[in-house]
Amino acid sequence: MEKLPLGKLPKNVLIENVLSFSYVKDDVLLPPSYGEDGAVVRTKGNLIIAAADPITGASEEAGWLSVHVNANDIAVHAAYPKWYIVTLLFPEDTMVDDIEKVMKGIRRALNEIDGSLIGGHTEITNKVNDIIIAGTMIGEPIIPGEYITSSGAKVGDDIVLTKGAGIEGTFILATDFENELRKRIDEQIIDNAKRFREKISILPEVQIITENVDIEHIHAMHDVTEGGLIGGVFEIAYASNLSFRIYEEKVPILEPTEEICKFYHIDPLKLIGSGALLISVDSEISDEVINALNKAGIYAATIGKFEKRWDHIGVLVRKNGDEHIIDEPPIDELWRLLGLMSI
Amino acid sequence: MEKLPLGKLPKNVLIENVLSFSYVKDDVLLPPSYGEDGAVVRTKGNLIIAAADPITGASEEAGWLSVHVNANDIAVHAAYPKWYIVTLLFPEDTMVDDIEKVMKGIRRALNEIDGSLIGGHTEITNKVNDIIIAGTMIGEPIIPGEYITSSGAKVGDDIVLTKGAGIEGTFILATDFENELRKRIDEQIIDNAKRFREKISILPEVQIITENVDIEHIHAMHDVTEGGLIGGVFEIAYASNLSFRIYEEKVPILEPTEEICKFYHIDPLKLIGSGALLISVDSEISDEVINALNKAGIYAATIGKFEKRWDHIGVLVRKNGDEHIIDEPPIDELWRLLGLMSI
């Protein structure tokens, strides 16, 4: 097998090993093809939503993950992620197979969310030393003309969390440190932890909410990423100019997350957590939201409240009653752990 | 001055040194802001056009260039580039100043094309060893509902080129090898070559064409990038399933390009050439197109024709009458030169 040369891909590789993985729906009028630099898509209304997030350093299933993290950034706005466009930068010594793996992951994820790959750019470059997948997702509102932001939370809103804290961190740790963990933790728990990657999309809960509740009462939504649950709530509070109060005892933590976090002495509330959705909802209908989600098989719970902004951005009430003031987004526990390990 | 830590930017740096450079027009309903992961924009119709292109390795004015190369990919579809979203990956030891420089360049270019910065992602990462600017531009048709592709060229079309061959390569060489060139070539020619960067946008010619000609007669448009003029014509021919015939003597080559190419023994027809637009136009109205462009101060000339596809994709007729068969996109002369230099 041949290594690919630096620069844009050779024409035949681009056509046979990249463009052949294109996955487009009917609304893509000009799909990716050799010699075309742009894509043309047909929207349903006059609002579009766009977001960009790179994956740097993930390897296995990186392409798949890149679609879902970008799709989640669209879904939080009560929108369907539809059109994916991706810049792929591969380091020297990349083989055609490496590219195909990423493309397969992208196609699989787009299939799961019913989206299209509409374009991008692929290049071998000595400016990177790992695969960089810089994706941009474009979508449109589920309910025409309506969208939700991070900044709309209101005083008195309930803060609802779906699934649990630290979903993404749980499967990253279970995958990266599998051998170490299998020696100390029940095999089945590790197997479960690895399957958490199947929970990564928050599109299902967004669809359930928009179908079952008048979204006028959903004031803000945000996904849980770096900095974990606390980081996500912090961002809503900051954007909405409110303060938050969260109760540790109310936060759902799934068994694999609990076991793995205990083993590494890390706080699941500050662990990278894609897969969970934060919802700031009128407290009068939070039960309605939770019931609709539970009925569809997605666990959800109220974990706290938004208050008028006071001296601090937030308070985390620990199980023992201690109140921790929070004025800065937390450093993610995953980075802290990896930092400790590299010393 | 402090070096920035690995990972996402600290909140205050993101707010003060990145988001403060946001530049948004009225159609951006949800602009970039701390705690928001997506942007919401209002379109005029139901068609949008998207394209992605990274800048790796360029340094000075890299941000500015990243907007224009992406804007050009939208403009070739007879569309306005409007909404820019950018993933910025900076290497270790990056200072706040480095980030501000890129942001200033992005803002300046968006100002020039009347577009908005709607979002993105900024991160310091040890996975890159130079600044990576992975941009995505979203736009919409200049004439509602209509767009042009690379694949629509027709048998008998005239191939029109604006400005000249090797525009981008000329200013890259004049900038990167300024000292060497100033010893051998007239100072004023080098100064002119460096000013070629002002020619990089093809949006002006696209606007003139759409305003002055019924775009039914414009069958394909493409910009000149890697592989130069020949690469661009090759891509149209390939996408349209035609063959091309180009005459070297008809290709406009500006004096600085000619002098610099002569000095380095490179072929301007195969030199990276953003800034020039290729137009495949019904031969009955090619004069009308050229006149409209000339009247607006943009030089343009017919350089060849598209023919029914025969045994080869294209023929380049040299000034001495020699016919060169072309069946593969050419290696860009800039990469060939830099390759020779590094031996």
Comparing B61 with A28, the larger pLDDT belongs to A28
- Tens of pLDDT, residues A173-195: 999 899 999 999 999 999 999 99
Q: Is residue B148 part of a domain?
A: no
- Based on C-alpha coordinates, what's the Rg of chain A? 21
B53 CB neighbours in chain A (<8 A) are 37, 87, 121
| Residue of B127, B136, B329 lying closest to A128 (CB–CB) | B127
Q: Is residue B153 part of a domain?
A: no
Residues B192 and B257 in one domain: yes
Q: What is the mean pLDDT of chain A?
A: 93
Residue A223 touches partner B, C-beta closer than 8 Å:
yes
A119 CB neighbours in chain B (<8 A) are 50-52
Distance from CA of A102 to the nearest CA of B (A): 17
Q: Is residue B331 part of a domain?
A: yes
B47 to A29: CB separation less than 8 angstroms, yes or no: yes
Residue A57 pLDDT greater than 60, yes or no: no
Got the DSSP string for B289-333?
Answer: HHHHHHHTT--EEEEEEEEE--SSSEEEE-TTS-EEEE-SPPPPH
Residues A136 and A162 in one domain: no
B127 to A73: CB separation less than 8 angstroms, yes or no: no
Amino acid B131: pLDDT: 93
A129 to B125: CB separation less than 8 angstroms, yes or no: no
If one counts every other C-beta atom within 10 angstroms of the C-beta of residue B326, the result is 19
Residue where the block lists tokens 């990038």: B225
Substitution target in A15, A19, A36 with the highest count of B β-carbons within 10 Å is A36
Residues A121 and A257 in one domain: no
A48 to B57: CB separation less than 8 angstroms, yes or no: no
Residue A328 touches partner B, C-beta closer than 8 Å:
yes
Please count the CA atoms within 13 angstroms of the CA of B230 that sit on its side-chain side: 24
- Tens of pLDDT, residues B60-77: 588 999 999 999 999 999
Residues B235 and B319 in one domain: yes
Residue B143 touches partner A, C-beta closer than 8 Å:
no
What is the 3-state secondary structure of B218-230?
Answer: EEEEEECCCCHHH
Q: What H or E segment, with its residue span, contains residue A228?
A: helix A228-240
Distances (CA, A) of B330 to A19, B231, B268: 20, 6, 12
Q: What number of C-beta contacts closer than 8 Å exist between A and B?
A: 225
Residues A56 and A127 in one domain: yes
- Based on C-alpha coordinates, what's the Rg of chain B? 21
Amino acid A13: pLDDT: 86
DSSP 8-class letter at A68: H
Tokens of B107: 């803002």
A132 to B89: CB separation less than 8 angstroms, yes or no: yes
Q: Which residues contact A137 (CB under 8 A, 6 or more apart)?
A: A50, A51, A52, A67, A70, A71, A73, A74, A81, A82, A83, A84, A85, A115
Q: Is residue A242 part of a domain?
A: yes
Residues A37 and A96 in one domain: yes
Helices (H), B130-202: 167-176, 178-184, 187-195
Give the domain-ending residue among A81, A110, A141.
Answer: A141
Give A117's strand partners. Answer: A84
CB of B233 within 8 A of CB of B219? Answer: no
Amino acid A61: pLDDT: 82
Give the domain-ending residue among B108, B141, B174.
Answer: B141
Amino acid B210: pLDDT: 97
A83 CB neighbours in chain B (<8 A) are 50
Buried b (16+ CB within 10 A) or exposed e, A295-318: eeebebbbbbbbbeeeeebbbbbe
B147 to A56: CB separation less than 8 angstroms, yes or no: no
Amino acid A343: pLDDT: 53
Residue A15 touches partner B, C-beta closer than 8 Å:
no
Residues B97 and B167 in one domain: no
Residue A59 pLDDT greater than 60, yes or no: no
Q: Which of B134, B56, B130 is nearest to B91 (CA)?
A: B130
Give the domain-ending residue among B141, B167, B183.
Answer: B141
What is the 3-state secondary structure of A94-163?
Answer: CEHHHHHHHHHHHHHHHHHHCCEEEEEEEEECCCECCCEEEEEEEEEECCCCCCCCCCCCCCCCEEEEEC
Of the listed ranges A86-90, A285-289, B101-105, B304-308, the least confidently predicted one is: B101-105
Residue A138 touches partner B, C-beta closer than 8 Å:
yes
Q: Is residue B1 part of a domain?
A: no
CATH number of residue A105's parent domain: 3.30.1330.10
Split into its structural domains, chain A has a count of: 2
B89 CB neighbours in chain A (<8 A) are 54, 56, 132, 134
Amino acid B342: pLDDT: 62
Q: Is residue B72 part of a domain?
A: yes
Could you tell me the mean pLDDT of each successive run of 10 residues in chain B, 343 residues long? 78 85 87 87 93 76 92 97 95 89 92 94 92 96 95 97 97 93 94 95 98 96 94 96 98 97 96 97 98 97 98 97 95 87 62
A223 to B8: CB separation less than 8 angstroms, yes or no: no
Q: Is residue A151 part of a domain?
A: no
| Contacts with B, A 75-134, CB within 8 Å | 76-77, 79, 83, 85-87, 89, 118-121, 123, 125-130, 132, 134
Range of the domain at B233: 158-341
**SS3 assignment, position B24:** coil
CATH number of residue B228's parent domain: 3.90.650.10
Amino acid B24: pLDDT: 86
Residues B76 and B128 in one domain: yes
Residues B96 and B197 in one domain: no
Q: Is residue B190 part of a domain?
A: yes
d(Cα A117, Cα A136) in Å, to the nearest integer?
Answer: 10
User: Chain A residue closest to B46 (CA)?
Assistant: A43
Q: What H or E segment, with its residue span, contains residue B119?
A: strand B116-124
Residues B107 and B50 in one domain: yes
Distances (CA, A) of A327 to A228, A247, A299, A313, A324: 15, 17, 29, 5, 10
Residues B328 and B236 in one domain: yes
User: Chain B residue closest to A34 (CA)?
Assistant: B239
Amino acid B16: pLDDT: 85
Residues B179 and B314 in one domain: yes
CB of B290 within 8 A of CB of B175? Answer: no
CB of B293 within 8 A of CB of B208? Answer: yes
Helix orientation angle between B255-264 and B187-195, rounded to the nearest 10 degrees: 110
Amino acid B60: pLDDT: 57
pTM (predicted TM-score): 0.93
If one counts every other C-beta atom within 10 angstroms of the C-beta of residue A60, the result is 12
- Tens of pLDDT, residues A247-283: 999 999 999 999 999 999 999 999 999 999 999 999 9
User: Above pLDDT 90, what percent of chain A?
Assistant: 79
d(Cα B110, Cα B103) in Å, to the nearest integer?
Answer: 11
| Contacts with B, A 16-75, CB within 8 Å | 29-30, 33-54, 56-57, 73-74
CB of B23 within 8 A of CB of B110? Answer: yes
